[in-house]
Structure 1
Amino acid sequence: MDRWTGRVALVTGASVGIGATVAKELVRFGMKVVGCARNVDKIQALAAECQTAGYSGILIPYKCDLTSVEDIQSMFAAIKAQHKGVDVCINNAGVAHPEHLLSGKTSGWKNMLDVNIMTLSICTREAYQSMKERNIDDGHIINLNSIGGHIVINNSDIHFYVATKYAVSALTEGLRQELREAKTHIRATIHHAS
């Protein structure tokens, strides 16, 4: 972890759960972590907790509606202006609504598509461009996924959600192939949270 000391990580969905835990750990290891979510109160409390614990890094709360491409682009512009850019991008944000395929609400489906697929893809693109323009060749893009990205579980509440997680698996593999073609050492990995 030493090579990441002082470097900048973006963690989406950093207010609760896995995102909050990952952000805290990266700060403990000395990284500058931009933690984003719609509700930054919890991230601010986590930042204070990290400071009190004497962690060598810093957690920077950032309010961002991840369903808005404009908000995401503004966030990347702010990170560039204040911290030069992103070296590690952890696409953690995700939503699951119990919307069946036969009777689900279109709005629920769209929200899952927006957060689980579009947000991840936009943040990946912006992070890669941030690394590329600064000649960062050792960056890392990590996509959080679930077992639902590989198995269609017999539960009609989550069939649409599972489809978005299959997309995360496909997008990560596609990203690996594009990074290889670009002859970069930037890595793309997938982490299965459950």
Structure 2
Amino acid sequence: MPVNDEVRTSESVRDKFSVDGKTAVVTGASSGIGRAIAETFAADGADVVICSRTRDDVEAVAEELNGADVDGSVLPVECDVTDRDDVEALAEATAEEFDGADVLVNNAGGAGPGGTLDEVGEDDWNGVIQVNLTGVYNATHAFAGQLRDGGGEVVNTSSMAGRYGVAGMGPYSAAKAGVSALTRTLATEWADDDVRVNAVEPGFIATPPVREMFGLDEIPDRDGAGRRVGSPHEVADTVRFLASDAASFVTGQTIAPTGPPNTFQPPEN
């Protein structure tokens, strides 16, 4: 006896893996992983609100995507996720333009200066925690009403550094571990509101800082499972899955786009 007598067509299955028709907010979207997420969502047919601290950078991304052959539209907003007023204004702009958000991607972050924990000054510590962890709280708090009104999805960008802890990256490791823990907590708290909350823990991804750090001339292609460096769009594809209806029974989880299992060891140059 079949589990379900409804015959699923290949088209209906494919549709579940799409974010077409959703409105998504992506923080930290001027470059790297955030920009790739915005590109992927807009190409799928989602309307995307993108933000960064620098207006010119985020407006350039929006202009390029709105001028491309994509089905979704892109709205740029200048926003510092560590500033509560900025984040509230971002939520208001989203509601005014698109009648609210269906998906929130908390991607804004940064590693900050390196050094052993005893070398890290209080200002550096606070800055890294603010942008990586408090920024997630600020944005999630500001969009809570929109997301819980009819259900929605939250996808947070954590890091493998948060899973393992990395020497010389104490504040960043701690902040990203907090993001992963916050993801599990919020998934439990908002489950009855039909809001799914998940995270991604990327390994080494060919963002501009990583490419500069390891002397990578170009973004690696997708050939080969043994790669130690991935592309931003490979992370974006994981985020799209988590934000789509195909992940309807996935919440409180952290997926790690890393290639082979590793402990966040730098790839060889």
Matched residue pairs, number?
Answer: 187
- Once the 2 structures are TM-superposed, how far is the Cα of residue 40 of structure 1 from its aligned partner? 2.7
- Aligned position for 2:72: 57
> 2: CA distance between counterparts of 1:101 and 1:20?
31
**Pair 1:43-2:58 in alignment:** yes
* CA deviations over 1:143-169 (Å, ceiling 9, x no partner): 01111121122x2x2012101111111
> Within the alignment, does 1:184 sit opposite 2:198 as a pair?
no
AA aligned opposite 1:185 = D
Does residue 164 of structure 2 align to residue 151 of structure 1?
yes
**Distance between the aligned counterparts of 2:107 and 2:55, measured in 1?**
16
Instruction: Provide the TM-score with structure 1 as the length reference.
Output: 0.90
The residue that corresponds to 1:164 in the other structure is 175
Name the structure 2 match of 1:77: 92
Structure with the higher fraction of residues in strand conformation? 1
* CA RMSD, Structure 1 to Structure 2 (Å): 1.6
Among 93, 107, 117, the alignment partner of 1:92 is: 107
Q: Residue 110 of structure 1: which of 116, 121, 126 is its match?
A: 126
Q: Helix, strand or coil for the counterpart of 2:119?
A: coil
**Contact 2:80 2:87 (C-alpha < 8 Å) held by counterparts:** yes
Deviations for 1:47-89, whole angstroms, at most 9, x for unmatched residues? 2322333101011111012221111111111211222111100
Distance 2:117 2:29 in 1: 29
Distance 2:66 2:91 in 1: 24
**SS class of match (2:164):** coil
Asked if 1 retains the 8 angstrom alpha-carbon contact of 2:52 and 2:77, the reply is: yes
Aligned ranges 1:6-25 → 2 under 5 Å = 6-25=21-40
> What is the Cα deviation at residue 99 of structure 1?
4.5
Which secondary structure does the structure 2 equivalent of 1:189 belong to? strand
Q: 8 Å contact 2:162–2:172 — kept in the other structure?
A: no
**SS at 1:102's partner residue?**
helix
Query: How big is each residue's C-alpha offset from its partner over 1:9-59, in whole Å with a ceiling of 9 and x where there is no partner?
Result: 100000010001101110101111010001132322222322333101011
- State the identity as a percent: 30
Q: Partners of 2:125 and 2:116 in 1: how far apart?
A: 9
Matched residue SS, 1:150: helix
Conservation of the 8 A alpha-carbon contact between 1:175 and 1:188: yes
Aligned residue type for 1:51: N
Q: Deviations over 1:155-184 (max 9, x none)?
A: 2x201210111111110111111123xx12
Of structures 1 and 2, the larger Rg is shown by: 2
Q: 1:130 aligns with which of 120, 137, 146?
A: 146
Point out the more displaced range, 1-10 or 45-54.
1-10
CA–CA distance in structure 1, aligned partners of residues 75 and 134 of structure 2: 23
Give 3-state SS (helix, strand or coil) of 1:4's partner: coil
Where in structure 2 are there 5+ consecutive unaligned residues? 1-14, 204-269
State yes or no: 1:175 paired with 2:191.
Answer: no
- Asked if the contact 2:22/2:47 (under 8 Å) is kept, the reply is yes
What is the aligned partner in structure 1 of residue 8 from structure 2? none
What is the Cα deviation at residue 106 of structure 1? Answer: 1.1
TM-score between both structures, scaled by the size of structure 2: 0.66
